[in-house]
Structures are given as C-alpha cells and as structure tokens.
Amino acid sequence: GDGGGANATFVQEGGVNDLPGNPASPEINRQADDDYYFAGEYTKVIPNNGDYEPVGSVLVNEEAGERAFAGIDNNLRYHFNLPASLKPTDQLMVTFDANNLDNNGFDPQYGIEVYFNNELVQEEIVIYPENLDTDYTTPPFTLESVGAEVGPGFDNIITLKGINYNADGGGNWMGIDYVQLDPIPQPVFPLAIGLDDDGWPVGDGGGINASFVQENGTINDLPGSPSSPETARQADNDYYFAGVYTKTIVEDEWGDYDPVGIVPRNEEAAERAFAAEDNDLRYHFNLPATLEPTDEVTVSFDPLNLDESGTDPRYGIEIYFNDVLVQEEIVIQPDDLGNKFTTEPFTLASVNAEMGPGPDNIVSLKGVNYNWDGGGNWMGIDYVQISHLEDMPPELPPEFLPSVVSNGQLTLSWTGSGNLEWAPEVTGPWTAVTPIPTTPYSENFSVADRRFYRLRKP
C-alpha cells in the first residue's frame, strides 16, 4: 500500500531491536523493525516506556510494518500521538486480528498480550487455527490508567507481545492482519441499516452502507455474531451497530443469553430478506444516554421485492422493540413494494428501552409467510430506520392531483396523508369512502350524479 496507516505495507520481520527504532523503514522484507510510527512529534518519553532518545518529527506515516511474530522476535510496537481533546477519563480499546499461523507443529498455537505504555490491557489470548480472522478487542481502559499523554510530543506506544509455543508443538510464527486503536463506541441516533436506494449494493462501514447478503435459511439463537462475513448465506439474523453489549434486556421469548460485549465497529453484513422459515431480522444497538424514557421513536422499513410465483403474492411483517409489539401485522403485496412504512410513535419507556453503553436494545422485524396459501416464499427489505420522532420529516398535507375521467371512470390521485370523503353537495353531508382507499382511487362515474370529494387529515 501507500500512505501507511490503514494502507501500510506488511513485510517480513527483521529481528529484535531496542527502542526507539526507525520511523522510515523500507518496504523490503527483513529490513523493517519492531517499531512502527504514525506521523507526529516524538520528543517526550513516557516514563513507563523506559529510557531512550525519542525520534523527533515524523512527517508522514511510516510505510512499512513488520507482519508477524517469529522465533524470538515477539514485539510489535506502534508509536503515536493522541489528540489533545481527549480527557484522562476517556476510554479506549485495542482491536487486532491474527491472519495466519505456522501449522507445522502438532498443536498449532501462539499467545498474544497487549500493552499500552507498558501497562497490560489484555491478558494472554492463545490463538489456534480456528481463531484466525477473528477480531479481538481489549476491555476498555482509561487514558490515565495507562499513563497516556495527549498532544504533540508524547511517544505513546501500543505493544503486541507474542508468546511462542514452538517447543510444545505450537509452531514458530503468527501473522497479524491489522491493529486498531479506538475510543469506546458512543451510541448514535437515529440509526439506519441500508439506504432508500431500491437495491442491495455492496458497501463499507455498515449502517447505511451495510451489505445486504442472502439469508442462511435458519433462525439462530441470540446473541448471534457481530462480525458476519459479506458472503451469501453466511450472515445471521442478528445485525450489530458499534457499541457495548454487556446487559440483556430480558423478555420471555428470548430468555437468557450472554451478550457479545464490545463491538468496535458497525457490522458489515446484514441478511437481506425473509425466506421460508427464516423470518426474524434483529438489529442490536445502544441508545444515547441523552435520551429520556418519555422520548418518542418510530421504526420504518421499505419492502424491496417479493416472491410473485404464487397465485396471491404477499408477505406479512410485524415489528417488535425489545420484544414489545410496536407494529401489528402489515400484509405487503406487489403494489406496496418501494413504499415506506412507519410505526406509530411510541415512548422508550413503553418498550423497556435502556440508554447508554451496555444495554442490548433490539428491534426485530418478523415475517409472516403465506407460501402455503399462494403468497410466495420470500420478501426482501430495502432498509430499516430507527428514528427519534423529532427526526421524522413532517408529513405532507393532503392535496389532490389533477383528476382523470376515462371510459366511464373517475380516477382521483393525491399526495400526502388523508382520508377520502364524498358528499352530494359541497356543504355535505360528508361520508368516508370505505374501505379506506389509497391513491390512485377509481370509481364509476355518471354525469347525472353530483359528487364532491375532499381529503381529511387523519
């Protein structure tokens, strides 16, 4: 890569070196060292890190970083400045992913510990082949607990320390895919999975850019995985926003489960549809601590497509918030595709919602399959939104569009939300058209009949 950081080039390790290392290692195997530098000013040593002469100004991110632990070369150090805006009580976490592992031994394994300014923040994790390509995140820690200093000059260091088990058949090396330092995820609101784009594009970053993938055909138990791959039939029913999930909001149907803990970033992949017996789409999130129990929220969704191979294509959908029903069944038919459906507003207290990091709030879309009755066997979802009532755009006032008279029929169309009523005179009496029609509405027309129509806002 070019530019270092997320685009750093990983090269074969070059052996053990003392601090401070070289901030300009070449992108050549065995010529990088244990010390990777981000662009910054390094003039002050943090006491816990020892006694050495800091490197001074580093104008650009270092291009090359060592790729692995190997033999006795078991330190990977990452140097950086922290923003001056951070406070001593702010919480951080380190995430890493093991990429590959020497499997020549009879019991392949490698240990890893994580340190911040020489303070242990992650006790040893032993990585086995089945643990490769798995994100590991340290427990949160405060800046003051690790002696971190903010602003230019201070040489903060994260160290990954490898523990070699070659003598016990564990193999002699393990590669690292990435290392990342993040603040603890803060709840955001409103929330959205996907965009109103009438499609399923592949995206990056999750949330509105989540990749919708083919469902796997089964309903898994809670809590599900917060890191499903962007691969058809390999995601599960549970989509996670970045957050901290340490407390369940217990409801009868779910029962007890162990929450997933810290999710450092939005999950990339979400199931795209209801299909056959796979009829639960669950979205996990924290709510900002600034919200109040009396605040009102809504849930919206847009059906994208529908199995129309049956004689009467349709699919039902219900919406639950923390297992409390907030939307009774809506039956979606082909004419409803591409339309946004929104629940009536409800308070956070009414659905047992809890605010701040920790509580595992869940919105669940539950499908009702009518394949047995000619309804078809699947329905796709374009997007789901969870919004504060104040974030909802105001409804358009009801307004008639030009009417059309053709072949003895009058067709009325309108915008906005309104109930259609008719009367024989402009002064009334007014009668609601039943069943409640949607736009466009047509009825037989005779010039001998006097009829007036109006839209009344619900």
Mark which of 391, 411, 428 sits at the end of a domain: 391
- pLDDT given at position 393: 54
Q: Are residues 355 and 431 located together in one domain of the fold? A: no
Q: Are residues 128 and 211 located together in one domain of the fold? A: no
Contacts with 253 (C-beta within 8 Å, 6 or more apart), sequence order? 323
- pLDDT given at position 288: 92
Tokens of 447: 């010039």
Q: Is 3 inside a domain boundary?
A: no
Q: Are residues 226 and 315 located together in one domain of the fold? A: yes
Contacts with 123 (C-beta within 8 Å, 6 or more apart), sequence order? 113
What is the CATH classification number for the domain harbouring 358?
Answer: 2.60.120.260
- pLDDT given at position 148: 98
- pLDDT given at position 396: 62
What are 332's strand-pairing partners? 315
Q: Are residues 351 and 407 located together in one domain of the fold? A: no
DSSP code, position 373: G
The pLDDT tens digits along the chain (458 residues) read 899 999 999 999 999 999 999 999 999 999 999 999 999 999 999 999 999 999 999 999 999 999 999 999 999 999 999 999 999 999 999 999 999 999 999 999 999 999 999 999 999 999 999 999 999 999 889 999 999 999 999 999 999 999 999 999 999 999 999 999 998 888 888 999 999 888 898 889 999 999 999 999 999 999 999 999 999 999 999 999 999 999 999 654 666 899 998 898 899 999 999 999 999 999 999 999 999 999 999 999 999 999 999 999 999 999 999 999 999 999 999 999 999 999 999 999 999 999 998 999 999 999 999 999 999 999 999 999 999 886 555 556 778 888 888 777 888 888 777 788 888 888 888 888 887 777 788 888 776 678 888 888 76
Q: Are residues 405 and 374 located together in one domain of the fold? A: no
Q: Is 201 inside a domain boundary?
A: yes
User: How far apart are the C-alpha atoms of 365 and 239, rounded to whole Å?
Assistant: 12
Q: Is 206 inside a domain boundary?
A: yes
Q: Is 300 inside a domain boundary?
A: yes
List, as one string, the DSSP characters of 399-418: EEPPPEEETTEEEE-EESS-
Q: Are residues 94 and 217 located together in one domain of the fold? A: no
- pLDDT given at position 149: 97
Instruction: Report whether 301 contacts 363 (CB < 8 A).
Output: no
Q: Are residues 369 and 431 located together in one domain of the fold? A: no
Q: Would you give the end-to-end CA distance of the chain in angstroms?
A: 58
What is the tally of structural domains in the chain? 3
Q: Are residues 108 and 141 located together in one domain of the fold? A: yes
Q: Is 4 inside a domain boundary?
A: no
Q: Are residues 299 and 423 located together in one domain of the fold? A: no
Long-range contacts: 289-292, Cβ < 8 Å, 24+? 289/187, 289/355, 289/356, 290/355, 291/189, 291/348, 291/355, 291/388, 292/348
Q: Are residues 123 and 205 located together in one domain of the fold? A: no
Tokens of 214: 């083919």
User: How far apart are the C-alpha atoms of 53 and 42, rounded to whole Å?
Assistant: 9
User: How far apart are the C-alpha atoms of 136 and 125, rounded to whole Å?
Assistant: 9
In three-state secondary structure terms, 390 is helix
Mark which of 370, 391, 412 sits at the end of a domain: 391
User: How far apart are the C-alpha atoms of 400 and 415, rounded to whole Å?
Assistant: 7
pTM confidence score: 0.69
What is the CATH classification number for the domain harbouring 130?
Answer: 2.60.120
- pLDDT given at position 250: 65
Cα torsion 187, 193, 195, 196: sign: negative
- pLDDT given at position 1: 83
Q: Are residues 96 and 169 located together in one domain of the fold? A: yes
* Containing structural domain, residue 403: 399-456
Mark which of 391, 411, 445 sits at the end of a domain: 391
Tokens of 320: 């639950």
- pLDDT given at position 266: 94
Q: Is 1 inside a domain boundary?
A: no
In three-state secondary structure terms, 36 is strand
Q: Is 95 inside a domain boundary?
A: yes
Distances (CA, A) of 75 to 67, 110, 150, 177: 11, 13, 24, 15
Q: Are residues 279 and 380 located together in one domain of the fold? A: yes
- pLDDT given at position 456: 80
